[in-house]
Amino acid sequence: MHRAHTAFSLALSPMAHKNFATWLLNSSSSQKLIKASAASAVRTYNSAAAEPFANGSTASYVEEMYNAWLRDPSSVHTSWDAYFRSNSYVSPPNLAPVQANTLPLTAFNFGGAVSAAPDSKTIDDHLAVQAIIRSYQIRGHNIAHLDPLEINTPDLPGNSSTKTIYANFSFGEQDMERQFKLPSTTFIGGDEASLPLKEILNRLENVYCNKIGVEFMFINSLEQCNWIRKRFETPGVLSFSPEEKRLILARLTRATGFEAFLAKKYSSEKRFGLEGCEIMIPALKEIIDVSTELGVESVIMGMPHRGRLNTLANVCRKPLNQIFTQFAGLEAADDGSGDVKYHLGTYIERLNRVTNKNIRLAVVANPSHLEAVDPVVQGKTRAEQFYRGDQEGKKVMSILIHGDAAFCGQGVVYETMHLSDLPDYTTHGTIHVVANNQIGFTTDPRFSRSSPYCTDVARVVNAPIFHVNADDPEAVMHVCKVAAEWRATFHKDCVIDLVGYRRNGHNEIDEPMFTQPLMYQKIRKHKNCLDLYADKLIAEGTVTAEEVKSVAAKYENICEEAFALAKTETHVKYKDWLDSPWSGFFEGKDPLKVAPTGVKEETLIHIGNRFSSPPPNAAEFVIHKGLLRVLAARKAMVDEKVADWALGEAMAFGSLLKEGIHVRLSGQDVERGTFSHRHHVLHHQLVDKATYNSLQHMYPDQAPYSVSNSSLSEYAVLGFEHGYSMTNPNALVLWEAQFGDFSNTAQAIIDQFISSGQSKWVRQSGLVMLLPHGMEGMGPEHSSCRVERFLQMSSDDPDYFPPESDEFAIRQLHDINWIVANCTTPANLFHILRRQIALPFRKPLILLTPKSLLRHPEAKSPFSDMSEGSEFQRIIPDRGPAGDNASNVKKVVFCTGRVYYDLTKARAEKQLEKDIAIVRVEQVSPFPFDLIKEQANLYKNAELVWAQEEHKNQGCWTYVQPRFLTALNHSRDISQSDEQSTFSNTTNTNQESDTDSDSNSDKNSKPWLSRMFASDKTDTVTTGSGTVTGEFNAAKHFDLKNVRHDFNRPAGIAAAPGVRIAKTGRKISYAGRACGASTATGSKAQHIRELNALLNDAIST
Ligand SMILES: Cc1ncc(C[n+]2csc(CCOP(=O)(O)OP(=O)(O)O)c2C)c(N)n1
Ligand SMILES: [Mg+2]
């Protein structure tokens, strides 16, 4: 709640924590207090500290009155009516204070035609009442009773709640019955235009300082402010029917019963229960009910650990037995490494019983990294809205649930908030729910944030914030209803801050008294929300004690039945926990067949012509002269049937769009392209917002193309695009980093979602990350995308040469976690982008992209390299004199990326074209073992070198070196003998073998499956929790029909003992920069020296 002010001394005094205003109005001795308040807390206009009569706020009040009077003269007090009729009022800017922000009273001329001029006291008193009303609206939340434990007090100047609201209170007891006209900015009167002062105060106190604290007056829309005022101020809004109350009670019973059941059955297991904030479950249900009623059909949720199982059980209605099975520690029946139970996602379609409408609910799987899932949920939501044609977010919505500490602590929350109103990223309003237990692990709010509330981040986007005491179920339900209606009305974000507590430690086996002793003394004495609410409903006669008991018992029975059912399960199934099923995508597909990626030449010409043409109405559309030259150059290339980088990319996009594949490219400045090479959006030079995007106009029936400059964020935007890519496999979703190195600010998305999402959550994604990369003398930044990190996370085994077959490449792709490539030609770029869609499954693609190469005269491809029959080349062999006469070649330089062009230039300069072959590795991971072996065999007598421009401890070297060794030795790792081919957790690579390469190939010709995984062998499998010995079932791990399993060594199983690398006598040496701490030098001269050294080293015989 409030920053830093945990006041136990106050909590010990029963009266002290009560705010003055509440006490004033509720106390039986209120009359005395009114006197007291008048005497002590009052600010009069004459006092030294007095507010000038018509300062900024009162002046705006006069203006407000004037506006109301203009609309309806009867809506203002007669005194105002008279005043405005007299034409004395001059609207702003003349209203600006005459002197020092002060308007003298004499400025109010009540003379003229008006006979009954109000006296100045009447005006003063009305102004004071208006100021008080406004003060409640602005500051009421500061002193509302939001904390069920009553230990937090607002961190206000002087810590005086009275002064907070009553700065303008100048009334005495005698004024309490006086009638005051209510302004148009309050709804407390209902149908009444005026109320006695006492009633005004009473109603304001109830609305703004009770169990709900509404923060909204910072919103700069009068319409929205009034909308909120109406929802909270209108008399009777907080009354619930007996049926509604019983529903709340039933839901709260389930939420509480679920945690109690888990605590009973799995007392020593971590589950991150919701105790202390159980109301979150009925709250989410209320949001969903109201939203469904208002037209929403699909809700996508993201949430952390706390209360996740409860949400799955009681909000999504995931079968309880599936949840309980997660506690049993069973093996998975399907592929993947899995995840802990409180991270898993789910997807459910069901009937909403309250609204009787069908609804889809998805909880997106998430990692431990708090808040990382936020942008992913937004991207997925946006995509679902897009595919449904739901342009205003009326059918699909997102709900994000947060912990209090994470919500204010994690920067990605801010980044995600800033996407909320961007045209290409908005999801048309997210409801944020904070399960605010006033603690983060062991840290109090006073040490975890500098802002008054944990929700202040939402103020930057003008989202209203509804703080509510989590022990008041009816107040919570009201807030949820308003939040859902707000979203449906304005399609903007809002926040519900459920202020509760955490009954246990951070997890159930954690001791909270170590660190929060006083808080937990209070918590131990505090009744839970269900009991409090049940007591209330019993006391008011809505339910009986027996009913309460019977509802609880009924739910416990349901849990017991599911528990018994769960016991009969033998396996968990990861696919039961999938958040984004792709129905129909995998069915009927040959899992080892890639569709052709080459296209008809006429298609290339058509796309090329469109891409190089101005808009059809070119005469009116004024294009920048420089761009006319770009278009003309493109046209010339199309006429010559060659493509540069931009054209190659456009060909890939255009041809996919033609085939009905939606393409979405997002990132900073992607529309033009950081390097000014792309120019997908042409801007009319004379008309604002008039643009033309030729890729959107290739074919009449093409799929939509979207290219969007993003906010300056990597974390949120990459997460967003990842989420977008999860929704529909038939779309090419690309995120481009401005420079590759900036992607490291999105590292959690890369590590936690992109590289491991399929393994943890059986969720595939074909997202493409475009990472400009290259050591071009631009300094330590703007150079390297840190490809070594991506490669280090690639899951192909360096010591394992998979069996060779026609399907080698596709099987490798199937089994890898992602693809890392660095293309040197536009044609290969074209093919690899198209291959993303041609694959029968989806894998993320980490694509290093060029900078200077974008305009390199040699980095062009003929159309024939993209037309039918052509395909992606994993490696590009030397096609010059060296390749033609391989046996004479003395050296083969393997490389990847743009350094190839430097190497060929150096070779030409030294006239070594016959002596040195240069082979480009275009797909670095999965490593093309088969093709490297082929090349090495081709150049039998040559020395082999890997040349790279990155430092030795960076770039691809550490990844390719061991794989080269495996490839050069023509072998996967082998065990000493078939008899000993057991698995153990001992790895022993690079030992010399007593078998030669021929006998290895002999072994390779045997059915490798049966040799490696003979079903009568006992396997030792290393799992996260230790080494398990048991039968290893080859068929299970290598279901070739479904190709579900690792083509590489199965995950979690270490290498065989006695692994040998056969001795062929060949090795790969390194040419390039030495190890370095930064990625590149800041000195251009040194850069050139280093590059020359590398070229001299590599290009020499
Ligand atoms: C990015 C990140 N940093 C640190 C952690 C470790 N951690 C797990 S829970 C937690 C406290 C979270 O507090 P809060 O957001 O208030 O949620 P609560 O557990 O109180 O529900 C921390 C620091 C994490 N999971 N993610
Ligand atoms: Mg917390």
What torsion do the CA atoms of 872, 877, 881, 887 make, to the nearest 10 degrees? Answer: -150
Ramachandran assignment for 971, one of left (phi > 0), alpha (psi -120 to 50 degrees), beta (any other): beta
Atom of ligand 1 nearest to the CA of 402: 15
Q: Please give the Cα distance from 418 to 712 (Å, whole number).
A: 10
- Pocket of ligand 1 contains residue 436 by CB under 6 Å: no
Atom of ligand 1 nearest to the CA of 441: 11
Going along 657-723, which residue ranges are E strands? 662-667, 682-683, 691-692, 705-709
Q: Please give the Cα distance from 82 to 80 (Å, whole number).
A: 5
Identify whether the C-beta of residue 830 lies closer than 8 Å to the C-beta of residue 648.
yes
- Pocket of ligand 1 contains residue 179 by CB under 6 Å: no
Is 216 exposed, middle or buried, given 0-12, 13-18 or 19+ CB atoms closer than 10 A?
Answer: buried
Ligand 1, atom 1: nearest CA belongs to which residue? 369
Q: Please give the Cα distance from 646 to 600 (Å, whole number).
A: 19
Per-residue model confidence (pLDDT) at position 618? 76
- Pocket of ligand 1 contains residue 963 by CB under 6 Å: no
- DSSP code at position 702: P
Ligand 1, atom 13: nearest CA belongs to which residue? 440
**d(CA 54, ligand 2 centre) in Å:** 44
Atom of ligand 1 nearest to the CA of 436: 16
**Which residues partner with 1072 through β-bridges?**
948
Identify whether the C-beta of residue 505 lies closer than 8 Å to the C-beta of residue 271.
no
Identify whether the C-beta of residue 932 lies closer than 8 Å to the C-beta of residue 957.
no
Determine phi and psi for 876, rounding to 5 degrees.
-115, 110
Token pair in block for residue 728: 């529909």
Q: Please give the Cα distance from 1033 to 1021 (Å, whole number).
A: 11
Nearest CA among 1001, 935, 911, 924 for reference residue 957: 924
Residue type for position 714: E
**d(CA 447, ligand 1 centre) in Å:** 14
Cβ contacts of 676 within 8 Å, gap of 6 or more: none
Per-residue model confidence (pLDDT) at position 88? 56
Q: Please give the Cα distance from 896 to 246 (Å, whole number).
A: 67
Nearest CA among 996, 988, 989 for reference residue 1063: 996
Nearest CA among 854, 850, 853, 826 for reference residue 677: 854
Nearest CA among 145, 199, 137 for reference residue 2: 145
- Percent composition of the chain: helix, strand, coil (DSSP 3-state, to 5): 40, 15, 45
Element (H, E) at 893: strand 891-895
Token pair in block for residue 400: 């994000």
**d(CA 448, ligand 1 centre) in Å:** 11
Q: Please give the Cα distance from 902 to 523 (Å, whole number).
A: 69
Atom of ligand 1 nearest to the CA of 368: 25
**d(CA 250, ligand 1 centre) in Å:** 30
Ligand nearest the Cα atom of residue 409: 1
Strands 845-849 and 768-772: parallel
Token pair in block for residue 235: 């008399």
Angle value at C-alpha 305, between 303 and 308, nearest 5 degrees: 70
Question: Is it true that the peptide bond before 926 is cis, omega within 30 degrees of 0?
Answer: yes
Atom of ligand 1 nearest to the CA of 307: 21
Ligand 1, atom 17: nearest CA belongs to which residue? 403
Mean pLDDT per block of 10 residues along the chain (1101 residues) reads: 35 31 31 31 27 41 71 72 62 37 36 57 90 94 94 64 69 92 96 96 96 97 97 97 97 97 90 94 98 97 95 94 85 69 84 88 95 98 97 98 98 98 98 97 94 96 98 98 98 98 91 94 96 98 97 97 92 80 88 95 98 89 96 98 98 98 98 95 95 97 98 98 97 97 97 95 95 92 95 95 94 97 98 98 97 90 98 97 94 97 97 98 98 95 96 97 89 38 29 30 33 30 29 30 40 40 75 94 92 94 89
**d(CA 419, ligand 2 centre) in Å:** 25
Token pair in block for residue 781: 């930044």
Cβ contacts of 333 within 8 Å, gap of 6 or more: 571, 572, 573
Q: Please give the Cα distance from 1093 to 1101 (Å, whole number).
A: 14
Q: Please give the Cα distance from 958 to 980 (Å, whole number).
A: 31
- Pocket of ligand 1 contains residue 368 by CB under 6 Å: yes
- DSSP code at position 617: T
Per-residue model confidence (pLDDT) at position 156? 60
Strands 682-683 and 662-667: unpaired
Nearest CA among 765, 698, 767 for reference residue 736: 767
Going along 658-729, which residue ranges are E strands? 662-667, 682-683, 691-692, 705-709
Q: Please give the Cα distance from 654 to 636 (Å, whole number).
A: 19
The residue written with tokens 């370095």 in the block is 1076
**d(CA 142, ligand 1 centre) in Å:** 26
Among 343, 370, 416, which is best to mutate for testing ligand 1, by the most ligand atoms less than 8 A from CB? 370
Residue 554 DSSP SS3: helix
Per-residue model confidence (pLDDT) at position 611? 98
- Pocket of ligand 1 contains residue 777 by CB under 6 Å: no
Token pair in block for residue 341: 């139970």
Angle value at C-alpha 135, between 198 and 91, nearest 5 degrees: 105
Nearest CA among 46, 41, 473 for reference residue 256: 473
Residue type for position 679: H
Residue 682 DSSP SS3: strand
- Pocket of ligand 1 contains residue 404 by CB under 6 Å: yes
Atom of ligand 1 nearest to the CA of 372: 1
Per-residue model confidence (pLDDT) at position 168? 61
Per-residue model confidence (pLDDT) at position 528? 96
Cβ contacts of 117 within 8 Å, gap of 6 or more: 79, 82, 83, 110, 111
Largest pairwise CA distance in the chain: 117
- Pocket of ligand 1 contains residue 435 by CB under 6 Å: yes
**d(CA 861, ligand 2 centre) in Å:** 56
Ramachandran assignment for 397, one of left (phi > 0), alpha (psi -120 to 50 degrees), beta (any other): beta
Per-residue model confidence (pLDDT) at position 1004? 37
Q: Please give the Cα distance from 320 to 559 (Å, whole number).
A: 7
Residue 375 DSSP SS3: helix
Token pair in block for residue 780: 């330590």
Residue type for position 295: G
Length of the chain counted residue by residue: 1101
Residue type for position 490: F
**d(CA 441, ligand 1 centre) in Å:** 6
Cβ contacts of 507 within 8 Å, gap of 6 or more: 270, 271, 272
**N- to C-terminal Cα separation, the chain:** 71
Ligand nearest the Cα atom of residue 499: 2
- Pocket of ligand 1 contains residue 406 by CB under 6 Å: yes
Q: Please give the Cα distance from 70 to 65 (Å, whole number).
A: 9
The pTM for the full model equals 0.84
Nearest CA among 192, 182, 187, 195 for reference residue 234: 187
Residue type for position 730: N
- Pocket of ligand 1 contains residue 372 by CB under 6 Å: no
- Pocket of ligand 1 contains residue 844 by CB under 6 Å: no
- Pocket of ligand 1 contains residue 437 by CB under 6 Å: yes
Q: Please give the Cα distance from 896 to 923 (Å, whole number).
A: 8
Identify whether the C-beta of residue 208 lies closer than 8 Å to the C-beta of residue 195.
no
